[in-house]
Amino acid sequence: MQFGPALRAAAGIAVLSIMDAVIKGMAEYYPTFQVAFLRFACGTLIATGVVAALRPGWPSRETVTANLMRSVIGVITAVSFFYALGQLPLAETLVLSFLSPMFIALFGLLMLKERVDARIMGAIAIGFAGTLIVVLGQTGEAAAARSWTGVAAAL
């Protein structure tokens, strides 16, 4: 049975959304590092099963070296996101995480000197304004209970 790209993307979004909700629930009872460890332990078991079934062969030394820093950054990002899930409402954490494409475009502009046309800059400004509305435009009670360390971790 062949699955189209849209169905695979939808399945990936569903799995990650379920994972976010489960982590949000677990963050109330367990420390962030324990939640992150268990998430990566389960992921390792699944990946090991896939590799055992597909038998793709050993990666080259260059592949391992190239992915080492990427893995470290991925773990730091995941732990930060899991911490934010424990500190903020699920919806707010996800809205803040949607800023990542905006940061990628801005970092490309600043660090790589990529050209970014006015439409992209306009979209970044609108997206950032929407995020500010979500973060700052809450009732006094919700704003007083806000965890700014959670906001920083999500960003």
What pLDDT digit, counting tens, does each position of 90-120 carry? 888 888 888 888 888 888 888 888 888 889 8
pLDDT at 140: 67
**Percentage of the chain surpassing pLDDT 90?**
44
Q: Which residues, including other chains, have CB under 8 Å from residue 92's CB and lie 6 or more apart? A: 134, 135, 154
In this prediction, residue 104 carries a pLDDT of 85
Helix (H, G, I), strand (E, B) or coil at 126: helix
Please give the pLDDT value at position 124: 87
pLDDT in tens, 35-58: 999 999 999 999 999 999 998 989
Q: How far is CA 75 from CA 9, 70, 82, 114, 134, in A?
A: 23, 9, 10, 27, 27
Query: How does pLDDT run across 122-143, given as a tens digit for each residue?
Result: 988 898 888 888 777 766 666 6
Geometric angle at alpha carbon 155, from 95 and 41, rounded to 5°:
90
- SS3 for 102-124, per residue? HHHHHHHHHHCCCCCCHHHHHHH
